[in-house]
Amino acid sequence: MIQVRDARYRWPGAASDCLLIDSLALAEGASMFLHGPSGSGKSTLLGLLAGVLVPQAGDVTLLGTRLQGLSAVRRDAFRADHVGYIFQQFNLLPYLSVEDNVLMACRFSKLRHQRAVAAGGTALACARELLEGVGLDAGLWRRKASELSVGQQQRVAAARALIGAPEVVIADEPTSALDAAMRDGFMRLLRRECARAGSALVFVSHDERLAESFDRVVSLPSVNRAAVRPAREEAVA
Amino acid sequence: MNALLMIAWRSGWNRRATLALVAFSIGLSTFLLLGFERVRADLRESFSQSVSGTDLIVGARTGGVQLMLYSVFHVGGATNNIRMDSVRAIEQNKSVGWVVPLSLGDSHLGFPVLATTPGFFEHFQYGYRQHLALASGRLFDGSLDELYDTVVGAEVADALGYKLGQKITLSHGAGGPGGIEHADKPFTVVGILQRTGTPVDRTVHISLEAMEAIHLDWAGGAPMPGVAIPAAMARKFDLAPKQVTAALVGLKSRAAVFGVQRFVADYPQEALMAVLPGVALDQLWDVVGAGEKALLALSALVAVVSFAGLVAVILAGLNERRRELAVLRAIGAGPRQVLMLLLAEGSLVALLGVGIGAILVAASTVGLGPWIQSQYGIVLSAAPPSDEEWKRVGEIVLAGIVASLIPAWRAYRLSLVDGLSPRV
């Protein structure tokens, strides 16, 4: 379902490639744990998978669709329909309520809105079900996102990534801002909810202890043939 | 699209303190631009409504604008008087229907005094050919019995609280401190005119003979020492005026207007001129136009400054919102939608500002209108916006949208470069 073949990416203005992957694949509904030190091209790979970046050579295929074959607008729409994304931190629009943040994913995708309605009766009911699923107190649902703790915000982000059952959920070090106890809880609920929605999970972390029970564990430096160097500085330069 | 508007609104509401300030400054510049337009239009309306049905105004040779200003609006003064003989000669012209001589110069507590014939009340028209009408009392007939009778305009009566029978004295010249009163010859208010919205409201009307009477014992602009002619005695003198300031002329047929104008200009015994009120007003607008343009340019500059404020505030906030943009991108928003979002935000603020300005204009025309009318004689209409004002509103909103394009474009670039990983 996810297929990366001979993909090469170089940041604009950079002297050398940041990413060079011969082959990387993930089956439908499966889970993959990606790890590697900073600078190993994790953000770049996630950018490619989300269709925000386009490889200069090779293919990135999601659900049988070659992403670089789509226009930028269609790629954005594709991401809205099929990809749920969780950041390390600051996932939410601080001025919206918890519920509205979750529903936001449906506002940009008719498909996911329809699926949410099919699953919960209304999109709001579906959002509430998910919030319950990630263990967020009903009393917090109407609060502004900015009033929540970091751990609570990450749960809301998970609910948003999962609403409307996107085929792929990408989580970019979602637990790095959480303490150990919260981290384990978050991992469990994320895995459980992904399984329930039937979404494939691409989970990135430098913490290899989290890798257990993933279908695939991939070390990025081992699949990325490009020289390991800090991509960030090059991009800025 | 709805989602974007919703986000723009909620995001803006989150920063309402700063944005409200910007909206208020846009509101003020809208108020300036719209208010200016309203005053300008109403001023012109007021001026052009002030006289109608008069075909020519005759006076000593001067500028057409000046003649119009002092004879109809009682602003400024005449360079010279004209002889009554000349007025009578014009009256004899076969195309002329009526002539109303006007004599100006004195005042009453700041209100101008107009000496004229009873024909003034018959022939003077304003607005859309409306005649003057009495609110109470009667007119004076120009006879010696009614020599010291006066008919005052509505504003004079209102402002000074005059009722019929009120005794008043006139001041020589413009009055004020150091001015000399015609205290020996008091007048009686016998009539109060209905409000017209023209300078007539602010005028004290007396007969030409009365004007002669109060100046009998005067010479060279001052009372003659040792000479005092009592009010009743004055009736025994020849009170027929020798000179007047100007005259209003009505023609039997408008077609003759240029013929009569030439007749007046070529009048051999005295240097006279005749102006068409409409033409003189056009000349006045030409003069005033330059000032209007300067004021308009200033107001426009103020608007530019407030829009610069809008751009600066949104741009300054943008860096802190890069994560917000990345979140939107992750949910599936494209750079174009980010652009639309920022455009919507700026436009909403601009729209809000224009709304504030429009409300300010409406509130101040209703609230300050009566005061402005009493102070300056300008009637501000509390009417819905004119076409010109709608156009102005459209221009301001458009300027707001164009200004919003700047932060919107910046956000577009940022979201394109940042993607899902903002560099903050």
Q: Which CATH class for the A2-236 domain? A: alpha beta
Q: Which residues of B touch A50 (CB under 8 A)?
A: 330, 420
pLDDT, residue B418, reads 82
Closest Cβ–Cβ partner in A92, A96, A108 for B332: A108
Chain B: residue whose CA lies nearest to A232? B423
pLDDT, residue B195, reads 87
Helices (H), B319-386: 322-331, 335-376
pLDDT, residue B367, reads 87
Mean pLDDT of B126-148: 89
Helices (H), B15-146: 16-49, 64-72, 84-92, 119-123
Scanning the structure block, which residue is given the tokens 């637990």? Answer: A175
Q: What is the pLDDT confidence band of residue B2, given thresholds at 50, 70 and 90?
A: confident
State whether A95 and B420 contact (CB < 8 Å): no
For chain A, the first-to-last Cα distance in angstroms comes to: 35
Interface check A150 vs B, CB under 8 A: no
pLDDT digits (tens, 9 = 90+) for B263-284: 999 999 999 999 999 899 888 8
pLDDT, residue A237, reads 38
% of chain B with per-residue pLDDT over 90: 51
Strands B107-108 and A168-172: unpaired
Three-state SS for A97-127 is: EHHHHHHHHHHCCHHHHHHHHHHHCCHHHHH
pLDDT, residue B50, reads 85
pLDDT, residue B257, reads 93
More confident residue, B424 or B421: B421
Q: Where are the beta strands (DSSP E) in B79-232?
A: 82-83, 96-103, 107-108, 111-116, 125-126, 130-131, 134-137, 149-152, 167-168, 187-193, 204-207, 218-219, 222-223
CA distance A173 to chain B (A): 13
The Cα–Cα gap between A165 and A82 comes to: 8
pLDDT, residue B63, reads 85
> Per the structure block, which two tokens stand in for B100?
């109303």
Closest Cβ–Cβ partner in A47, A76, A95 for B14: A95
> Per the structure block, which two tokens stand in for B191?
């009539």
pLDDT, residue B124, reads 93
More confident residue, B235 or B174: B235
pLDDT, residue B375, reads 66
> Per the structure block, which two tokens stand in for B338?
């980010």
**Which of B285, B143, B130 has its CA nearest to residue B200?**
B130
How many beta-carbon contacts under 8 Å exist across A and B? 73
Scanning the structure block, which residue is given the tokens 């101008």? Answer: B112
pLDDT, residue B399, reads 93
The Cα–Cα gap between A131 and A115 comes to: 16
Q: Which of left, alpha, beta for A148 (phi over 0: left; psi -120 to 50: alpha)?
A: beta
Where chain A has pLDDT below 70, the residues are 227-237
Mean pLDDT of B42-51: 83
Question: Could you tell me the CA-to-CA distances from B283 to B140, B276, B379 in Å, in that order?
Answer: 35, 11, 22
SS3 at position B424: coil
Mean pLDDT of B121-136: 90
Question: Could you tell me the CA-to-CA distances from B311 to B216, B308, B349 in Å, in that order?
Answer: 71, 5, 11
Q: What ranges do the domains of chain A cover?
A: 2-236
pLDDT, residue B27, reads 94
Q: What is the dihedral of CA B378, B34, B23, B325, to 10 degrees?
A: 170
Scanning the structure block, which residue is given the tokens 């709304």? Answer: B355
Length of chain A equals 237
The Cα–Cα gap between A88 and A173 comes to: 5
The Cα–Cα gap between A204 and A218 comes to: 10
State whether B421 and A109 contact (CB < 8 Å): no
For chain B, the first-to-last Cα distance in angstroms comes to: 28
The Cα–Cα gap between B154 and B192 comes to: 6
Mutation target among B6, B327, B328, B423 for the A interface, most CBs of A within 10 A: B327
Closest Cβ–Cβ partner in B6, B324, B420 for A52: B420
Q: Where are the beta strands (DSSP E) in A63-212?
A: 65-66, 83-86, 168-172, 200-204
Q: Which residues of B touch A109 (CB under 8 A)?
A: 332
Q: What is the pLDDT confidence band of residue B424, given thresholds at 50, 70 and 90?
A: low
Q: Which residues of A touch B5 (CB under 8 A)?
A: none
Mean pLDDT of B73-85: 86
State whether A91 and B327 contact (CB < 8 Å): yes
Strands B204-207 and B111-116: parallel
> Per the structure block, which two tokens stand in for B279?
């033409």
Mean pLDDT of B147-168: 92
Q: List the beta bridge partners of residue A65.
A: A62
Q: What ranges do the domains of chain B cover?
A: 2-47+288-418, 50-283
Radius of gyration, alpha carbons of chain B: 31
Q: What is the pLDDT confidence band of residue B24, given thresholds at 50, 70 and 90?
A: very high
